[in-house]
């Protein structure tokens, strides 16, 4: 700022005065602009701006000096304004100062009497500006700090994880909203309370351990159960620059959902293992019986055992296939190619594929299509076939000999409806509710000899969902079941 050439405005109605000032100040290296009256001076000041000093004559026609001073001051609070006048009356000087003048240069004056106050004015103005800048900067910093503080506390309070900070003296010095929510009655405990007031021993123990031996970024983490939820508690030391522990911060993260998933996963694996183990044990038992020679005098029994073993092995393979398909669907690796097709072909193919089995059991398997179905469905042909295969196979399996399985096939402008109805053993409402669950099988005296994987209907349900369709069951024990598949039509 000091290197910058200071600009000075001279406003006086006397030409001689303007020229005199201009000459003296220019020779001192200042840049000088002049105006002959108040209005012109104000105009110039407004237009050019950034004057360091203004020299204003009090007595001017039009806008007077006092009025101009006031305007200039309003416009720029830093400019050093000097009054130049022959009327060196005290009261005028006071009034001029009150309105924002900085000093007084009485006429007539020597060049020095002009230059010295002007230099002083420039310097004071620079100091003023610098002081103001520092003040503003300080205020801005304070504001930023305050903002920063409220920002951090807002962030800490908005965290889903519970945060508790304890100082070296084991006093609770900070906690966020989540922490008061997680720990029962924590809200009633005032800040600065000793750690014991936490009222939760396992966490207290962890924090005490952290305070005793502060090392590493996380010194203790443990699963804690609070109010039926599982939390992962991680305690880190709050270290001072010299490495000493100023306290410890505990973070509590709710991992209940993860734990539930973990449990569900191990339950599922355990179920799969059991479902695989049972048929394997049966096959092994049958083979062991044959190999032990127990059946060597009874060829018929031996054949029966081996045939059963083969059936169980086939059933096991179907189950593994179903399981692989289900897993592929879950991980998104199951590809279906949905094309606009008439699902009549896969429906009829599934009926044909089951005809022999139905015939063996003397079960009547019929297709009921009151009107030709022309609607197209956006579907994967093989998936529709698989769905119908499962539904018809189930209907035959759970229908007594001489029973009936009726596949009805209808459509309208918005959907295609395929119903598989049997007059078999039927299900209770509870059984109906569970029938799509993995490995669920209806167990009663009628179902003992019926082989199954417990996955067929789960697969049917998933495949139906992949087609934006729905599957509904109507069932009554001893009366039979109807599975109705509804698929939206194209366009």
Partner 1 sequence: MTHQPPYLIVVDDDPDFLDLNRRMLEKAGYRVDSFSTVSSAIEAMRADAPDLIVTDLMMESLDSGFAFSEALKSDPELKDVPVIVVTAMTSQRGFDFRPHGEEDLAAMNIDAFFEKPVDYGKLLAKVGEILNRTGG
Q: Using CB under 8 A as the criterion, which residues of the chain lie in contact with partner 1 when the complex forms?
A: 266-267, 270-271, 274, 277-278, 281-282, 284-286, 288-289, 292, 294, 301, 305, 308-309, 312, 443-445, 448-449
Q: Which is nearer to partner 1, 259 or 308 (CB)?
A: 308
Tell me how far, at minimum, the Cβ of 401 lies from partner 1, in Å.
Answer: 17
- In this complex, which beta carbon is closest to partner 1, that of residue 98 or of residue 443? 443
Q: Which is nearer to partner 1, 447 or 484 (CB)?
A: 447
Minimum distance from CB of 452 to partner 1 (Å)?
A: 12
How many Cβ atoms from other residues are within 10 Å of residue 302's Cβ?
A: 16
Q: Which is nearer to partner 1, 305 or 388 (CB)?
A: 305
Q: In the complex, what is the shortest distance from the CB of residue 309 to partner 1, in angstroms, rounded to a whole number?
A: 8
Query: At closest approach, how far in Å is the CB of 447 from partner 1?
Result: 9
The residue among 99 and 312 lying less far from partner 1, judged by its C-beta, is: 312
Q: What DSSP character marks residue 157?
A: H
Q: Tell me the β-bridge partners of 416.
A: 411, 487
Per-residue buried b or exposed e for 146-164, using 16+ beta carbons within 10 Å of the residue's own CB: eeeeeeeeeebeeeebbbb
Query: Six-digit token pair at 297?
Result: 């005098």
Q: Which is nearer to partner 1, 50 or 270 (CB)?
A: 270
Give one DSSP letter per residue of 352-373, joined into a string.
HHHHHHHHHTT-EEEEE-SS--
How far, in Å, CA of 54 to CA of 39, rounded?
Answer: 14
Q: 417 has which bridge partners?
A: 410, 486
DSSP label of 288: H
Smallest gap from residue 403 Cβ to partner 1 (A): 20
Minimum Å distance from CB 192 to partner 1? 45
Counting runs of H as helices and runs of E as strands, what totals does the chain give? 13, 17
Task: Pick the closer one to partner 1 by CB: 73 or 301.
Answer: 301
3-state secondary structure of 131: helix
CB < 8 Å & 24+ apart, contacts of 435-440: 435/473, 436/460, 436/461, 436/471, 438/268, 438/271, 438/326, 439/271, 439/272, 439/275
Provide the minimum distance between the beta carbon of 267 and partner 1 in the complex, in angstroms, as a whole number: 6
For residue 398, the SS3 value is: coil
Nearer to partner 1, 158 or 288 (CB): 288
Minimum separation from the CB atom of position 308 to partner 1 (A): 5
**If we measure between CA atoms, which residue out of 130, 91, 88, 122 comes closest to residue 105?**
88
Smallest CA-to-CA distance from 393 within 434, 339, 356, 439 is with 356
């Amino acid at each position: 700022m000091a290197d910058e050439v200071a600009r000075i405005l001279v406003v006086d109605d006397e030409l001689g005065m303007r020229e005199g000032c201009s000459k003296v100040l220019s020779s001192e290296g200042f840049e000088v602009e002049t105006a002959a009256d108040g209005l012109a001076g104000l105009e110039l000041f407004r237009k050019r701006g950034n004057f360091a000093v203004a020299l204003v004559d009090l007595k001017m026609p039009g806008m007077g000096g006092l009025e101009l001073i006031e305007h200039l001051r309003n416009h720029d609070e830093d400019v050093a304004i000097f009054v130049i006048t022959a009327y060196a009356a005290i009261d005028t000087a006071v009034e001029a100062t009150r309105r924002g003048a900085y000093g007084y240069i009485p006429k007539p004056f020597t060049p020095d009497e002009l230059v010295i106050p002007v230099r002083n004015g420039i310097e004071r103005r620079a100091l003023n500006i610098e002081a103001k800048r520092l003040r503003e900067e300080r205020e801005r910093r304070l504001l930023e700090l305050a903002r920063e503080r409220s920002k951090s506390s807002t962030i800490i309070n908005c965290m889903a994880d519970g945060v508790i900070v304890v100082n070296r003296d084991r006093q609770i010095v900070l906690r966020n909203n989540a922490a008061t929510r997680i720990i029962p009655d924590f809200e009633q405990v005032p800040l600065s309370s000793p750690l014991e007031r936490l009222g939760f021993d396992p966490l207290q123990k962890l924090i005490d351990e952290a305070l005793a031996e502060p090392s590493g970024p996380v010194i203790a983490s443990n699963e804690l159960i609070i109010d039926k939820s599982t939390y992962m508690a991680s305690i880190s030391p709050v270290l001072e620059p010299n490495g000493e522990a100023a306290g410890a911060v505990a973070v509590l993260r709710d991992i209940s959902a993860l734990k539930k998933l973990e449990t569900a996963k191990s339950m599922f694996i355990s179920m799969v293992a059991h479902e695989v183990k049972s048929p394997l044990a049966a096959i092994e038992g049958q083979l062991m019986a044959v190999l032990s020679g127990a059946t060597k005098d009874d060829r018929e029994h031996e054949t029966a055992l081996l045939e059963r073993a083969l059936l169980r092995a086939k059933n096991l393979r179907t189950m593994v296939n179903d399981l692989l398909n289900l897993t592929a669907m879950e991980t998104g690796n199951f590809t279906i190619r949905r094309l606009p097709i008439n699902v009549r072909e896969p429906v009829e193919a599934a009926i044909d594929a089951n005809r022999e089995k139905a015939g063996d059991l003397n079960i009547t398997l019929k297709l009921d299509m009151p009107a030709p179905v022309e609607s197209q469905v956006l579907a994967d042909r093989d998936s529709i076939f698989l769905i119908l295969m499962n539904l018809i196979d189930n209907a035959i399996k759970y229908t007594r000999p001489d029973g009936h399985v009726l596949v009805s096939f209808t459509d309208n402008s918005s959907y295609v409806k395929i119903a598989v109805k049997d007059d078999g053993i039927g299900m209770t409402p509870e059984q109906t509710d569970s029938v799509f669950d993995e490995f669920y099988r209806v167990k009663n005296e009628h179902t003992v000899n019926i082989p199954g994987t417990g996955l067929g209907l789960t697969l049917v349900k998933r495949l139906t969902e992949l087609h934006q369709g729905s599957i509904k069951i109507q069932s009554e024990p001893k009366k039979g079941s109807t599975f109705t598949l509804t698929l939206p039509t194209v366009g």
